[in-house]
């Protein structure tokens, strides 16, 4: 609130951050606040939001996972890997193999904590 009353230069000096960084934060303020509210438990660990290399596959898998969770269908790591292979084929993605490492990172990016849900 105090920062709203001063210039960006003064605010950056007060916060001890570069002015372009402050400018980027202010520009993305709404998205940052929404992300913080949705991901509160892990937000303290993560410094920035990262996307995987195959965004279409990851978003499709997340939608499928959320639907399965809403229907109380148990989903294991092997089921997630199998579904990601199917989605890769359906979406025509080449050079992508959903390894257990990829799956672990995908679960971390999406705040999926349990192996068998």
DSSP label of 44:
T
Residue 109: helix, strand or coil by DSSP?
Answer: helix
What's the token pair of residue 115? 């192996």
Tell which residue, 26, 27, 46, has the closest CA to residue 36: 46
pLDDT at residue number 47: 56
DSSP label of 8:
H
Q: For the whole model, what pTM was predicted?
A: 0.55
What's the token pair of residue 4? 């709203």
For the chain, domains (ranges, CATH) are: 8-38 (no CATH), 55-110 (1.10.10.60)
pLDDT at residue number 45: 53
pLDDT tens, residue order, the chain (117 aa): 566 778 888 888 888 889 898 888 888 888 888 877 776 655 455 555 556 667 888 999 999 999 998 898 889 999 999 999 999 888 888 888 888 998 998 898 888 876 555
């Amino acid at each position: 609130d105090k920062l709203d009353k001063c210039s960006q230069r003064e605010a950056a000096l007060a916060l001890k951050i570069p002015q372009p960084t402050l400018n980027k934060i202010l520009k993305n303020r709404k998205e940052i606040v929404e992300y913080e509210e949705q991901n509160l438990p892990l937000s303290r660990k993560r410094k920035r939001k990262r996307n995987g290399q195959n965004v279409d596959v990851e978003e499709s898998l997340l939608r499928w996972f959320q639907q399965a969770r809403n229907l109380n269908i148990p989903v294991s790591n092997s089921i997630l890997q199998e579904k990601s292979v199917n989605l890769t084929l359906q979406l025509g993605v080449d050079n992508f193999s959903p390894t257990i490492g990829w799956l672990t990172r995908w679960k971390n990016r999406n705040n999926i904590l349990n192996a068998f849900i």
